[in-house]
């Protein structure tokens, strides 16, 4: 199923495009997303697994938060920087 709020559905698609695993289920949570790297050295460890609300206060803000979690992943960021340098 796709998330009923289109901004959040788009953010989830964005996470999937960066290889995050999305698992549906929960009561207030629509589901959860898991970082693909599962890296012990990761400095943003808590957000390697992030809860996605069904009905957040502001769908637009929640979508932004989820995108930021993906973009802030340090392994992902280093990969992008290395790619840039090549």
Q: Is residue 80 within the footprint of another protein (CB under 8 A)?
A: no
Q: Which residues contact 67 (CB under 8 A, 6 or more apart)?
A: 11, 14, 15
Q: Is residue 30 within the footprint of another protein (CB under 8 A)?
A: no
| Distance of alpha carbon 57 from alpha carbon 80, whole angstroms | 32
Beta carbons of 80 and 86 less than 8 angstroms apart: no
Q: Is residue 49 within the footprint of another protein (CB under 8 A)?
A: yes
Q: Is residue 66 within the footprint of another protein (CB under 8 A)?
A: yes
Which listed residue (29, 78, 79, 80) binds another protein by CB under 8 A? 29
Q: Which residues bind another protein (CB under 8 A)?
A: 26-29, 32, 35, 44-53, 55-58, 61-62, 64-66, 68-69
């Amino acid at each position: 199923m796709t998330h009923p709020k289109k901004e959040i559905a788009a953010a989830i698609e964005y996470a999937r495009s960066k290889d995050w695993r999305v698992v549906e289920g929960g009561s207030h949570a629509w589901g959860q997303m898991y970082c693909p790297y599962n890296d012990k050295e990761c400095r943003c460890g808590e957000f390697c697994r992030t809860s996605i609300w069904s009905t957040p206060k502001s769908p637009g803000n929640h979508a932004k938060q989820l995108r930021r979690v993906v973009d802030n992943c340090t392994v992902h960021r280093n990969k992008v920087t290395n790619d840039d340098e090549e």
